Amino acid sequence: MAAMEDKLMGVRLMKEVASEYRNGVAQLGSEKKIEPVKMPPSHSQISKNVKQSTENGITMVVVGGAGHHMQNKIRADEAAEALKIFLEQL
């Protein structure tokens, strides 16, 4: 989960982290070290300010208008809803 206005762990950095995880999962799956992830990539808009993408079983959520301490910001409810949706998938 990334906050659009985060100055410490910006969206670009968090997208790079998600990409590394996605590549790692794909590689481990192709090497038969883990079960390959069999789900198509998806992109969705959870709310007006929250976008989600999933590839190789790794979900990336971006919360617009939120900063580093997202839980203290105006978008906290939207971020919590995105987290709830993610947890319900597990």
Report the pLDDT value the prediction gives residue 89, as an integer from 0 to 100. 82
Distance of alpha carbon 90 from alpha carbon 86, whole angstroms: 7
Percentage of the chain lying above the pLDDT 70 cut = 100
Mean pLDDT across 14-37: 95
Report the pLDDT value the prediction gives residue 75, as an integer from 0 to 100. 83
Report the pLDDT value the prediction gives residue 55, as an integer from 0 to 100. 94
How confident is residue 18, by pLDDT bands cut at 50, 70 and 90? very high
Q: Based on the structure, what is the number of domains in the chain?
A: 1
The amino acid sitting at 89 is Q
Q: Which CATH number characterizes residue 68's domain?
A: 3.40.50.11320
Query: Cβ(70)–Cβ(76) under 8 Å?
Result: yes
Report the pLDDT value the prediction gives residue 23, as an integer from 0 to 100. 96
pTM confidence score: 0.83
Distance of alpha carbon 66 from alpha carbon 13, whole angstroms: 16
* Domain interval for residue 79: 2-89
Distance of alpha carbon 60 from alpha carbon 58, whole angstroms: 7
Distance of alpha carbon 54 from alpha carbon 6, whole angstroms: 21
- Report which secondary-structure segment, H or E, holds 14: helix 11-30
